[in-house]
Each structure stands twice: as C-alpha cells, then as structure tokens.
Amino acid sequence: EETGKSGYEHYMLKEIHEQPRALRQCLRGRVDELSGTVDIGDLGDLSPTGVQFVACGTSYHAALHGAQLFREAGIPSQAFLASEYATATPPIGDALVVGVTQSGETADTLSALRAARRRGARTLAVTNVVGSTAARECDHALYIRAGPEIGVAATKTFASQLAALNLLALGTSSTGDARQVISALRDLPGHVQEILDESAAQEIAEIYQDADAYFFIGRGYHEPVALEGALKMKEITYKHAEGFAAGELKHGPLALVTENTPVFAIVTGDDERARKTVGNVKEVEARDAPVVAITDGQSDVSRYADHVLELPETHPRAAAVLANIHLQLVSYHTAALLGRNIDKPRNLAKSVTVE
Ligand code: AGP
C-alpha cells in the first residue's frame, strides 16, 4: 500500500498532486487550439436542446458547473440531486440526461438515469471508470480519464469532471468565447502545478484548525466550488462546514458567523459578480469573522481579507478548478493536523451502492 502512495502520506495528497497529469490526460487529443474546436468523438452529434444533469456529492457540484456552462451557451439546463430525481423525475421533454459519476456505480445516480431512460430520454455518462454500469447502461459515455482514485474524498476526479464538462459543452454547443476557454483549459495543468507548489493552504490550516466552523462563499462558477470546499472539509475533518451562494449568506447563515468561523470567499475578475461578492465579504468582515480570500487580485477583496490564497488571472471556468485546489489543500492539512483517517473517513465509502 505504501508503494501505491508514491511516498505521499495519504492517497488523497497523492491524488491532489496528480491533478496536472489527470487534466492533461482529460484534454489530450480532444482540443484543437488553432481552430478553437473540441473533438469528443461521436458525442458531437448530440446537439442537445436541453440538458438535465443527475449526480451526487462532489459529482453533483461538478454537475452544477456543467449546467451553468450549457445555460451560458443558451441551452436550458439544470443539475439535480440524483436521489431526488429518481423519485421525483421532472418533465424531460427532449433533454439529454447526463449522469456525472466518478465510479459509474453510485446507486442513486444509476437509478436516476434508469428513470430517465424509462421516459425515453437519451442518456450520457460522464465517468472515470471504463465499463462501469453507468457507462454500459447509457447511450453514450464521456470518460474523464483521471486514473484510479483511491481516497474516499474525491479530488482529482472533480477537477477532471469540470474539464470534461467544459469539453462536453464546447463540443455540443457554441459559445462566443470558445477560444479563450480552450486556451484557459490548455493553461490549466500548469496553473494547477503552480498552486500545488506555492499555496499557503497549510499555514491557513494551522491558524484555523481549532475553528468552530468553516464557511465558503462564491458566485457563478464559484458557487459549486464553495459547496465542494465545504463538503471536503466536512468529509475529512469531521468539522462543521457549509458552502453558500455568496448572496445567500445574509438570508440566514450570517447568524452563524463569529470570530471563530473563518469564511473562505472565492472572488475572481472585477465584474458585477465579483463586486457583489466583495460586498458580501464586507458584511462578514464587519462581524469580525476571519476572511480568507481566494482571488486573482483583480477586485479589491484583499482589502477586507485576513489572508489571501492566490490565483492566476484566467477564464472564470478555469479559475473555479484552481480555487478548488487551494480548498482541497486547506481541508487536507486541517484533517492531517487533527489526526483524522483521511483516506477512509468514518462512516463513508468510496462508492455508495445503496439508495
Ligand atoms: C466525494 O468526496 C464523496 N466521496 C462523494 O460525495 C461522491 O462524490 C459521491 O458519492 C458520488 O460518487 P460518484 O461520483 O462515484 O458517483
């Protein structure tokens, strides 16, 4: 088992560090930067007029990102929790139903995909495991090519899911900024490596290891990352953590914010979204909560932050992947300091095969 960890203390840390390679594998042979096109095989013929995503846990957070991509391309799209979709299936029309599942064996996701198929929907599995049940049962499969993931906490497969969903959106719909997205995807492995080499995540973990709770906020593409940051923190540290759409904080959760609850705010660019999130950060800072800004420095969020986790300037879709790398590291180091069973957290299984 030790050899399998390649010298890393845990599989999770090894897998976090495998992300540049996993992303390269995901993109290899599928993007042509010169022409600004994406080739994902016969999936290009899908041309969906609507997309419904079904997924659980981390994969659901990737699905939220995927749904945003299609909506931005003018295609109605929504992400559903698979466990809800399976028992309260919404009208499908002629939408493509996409199951996002690392393992391809999650019972709730398989059940949702089967419910969609019973209603005559076309289905696609976005999965890591070739020949998995989801891949076999769906009409199409798009492999994320992340390589085996042993740690119960999904890390590299989330990054690869986001990259693969960008390929899916680029390959089956048209967006004005396809070239910029492709260029940002090409830069992604190198940018991830920079974060792995330079992130101040361990210091943040040391400072806040005794916090009462951890909150994560973001807007747009950064909302699913806020949710994912919180899930990872809960999963491996056993501490209270919640992620919110930044604008929701003032509608209730702000009551939980104290000087012992660090708030991680993901803010990139300097557009309306960024400015509004900076406004939310000010609300938090005024309540004496420590603020950790994950930012590319384009907005003035750092003025209201106690700490900064730096991001390079890139397309917001790629920035979401990069912000998550910092958050993976914060959770990992916090769990390590607390002596948790990082690769096999209590009560959890890598693949949940019961509904
Ligand atoms: C992620 O860290 C979790 N282990 C869990 O939420 C997982 O993402 C979920 O169970 C879905 O698994 P899947 O991607 O294999 O379908």
Which tens digit of pLDDT belongs to each residue from 204-215?
999 999 999 999
Ligand 1 atom nearest 348 alpha carbon:
4
Average pLDDT value for residue range 32-52: 85
Average pLDDT value for residue range 125-151: 97
174-183, 240-249, 284-293: range with lowest mean pLDDT: 174-183
Ligand 1 site, residue 223, Cβ cutoff 6 A: no
Contact 222, 295 (CB under 8 A): no
350 annotated active-site: yes
Query: Residue 281 belongs to what H/E stretch?
Result: helix 272-285
Say if the ipTM goes beyond 0.95: yes
Per-residue confidence at 37, pLDDT binned at 50, 70, 90? Answer: confident
Residue 34 confidence (pLDDT) above 90: no
Higher pLDDT, 139 or 45: 139
Ligand 1 site, residue 106, Cβ cutoff 6 A: yes
pLDDT of residue 268: 98
Per-residue confidence at 43, pLDDT binned at 50, 70, 90? Answer: confident
Which residue has the least CA distance to atom 9 on ligand 1?
57
pLDDT of residue 135: 98
Query: Residue 195 belongs to what H/E stretch?
Result: helix 178-198
Residue 52 confidence (pLDDT) above 70: yes
Distance 269 CA to ligand 1 centre (A): 30
Distance 260 CA to ligand 1 centre (A): 29
Ligand 1 site, residue 324, Cβ cutoff 6 A: no
**Burial of 174 per CB tally in 10 Å (0-12, 13-18, 19+):** exposed
Residue written as token pair 């003018």? 74
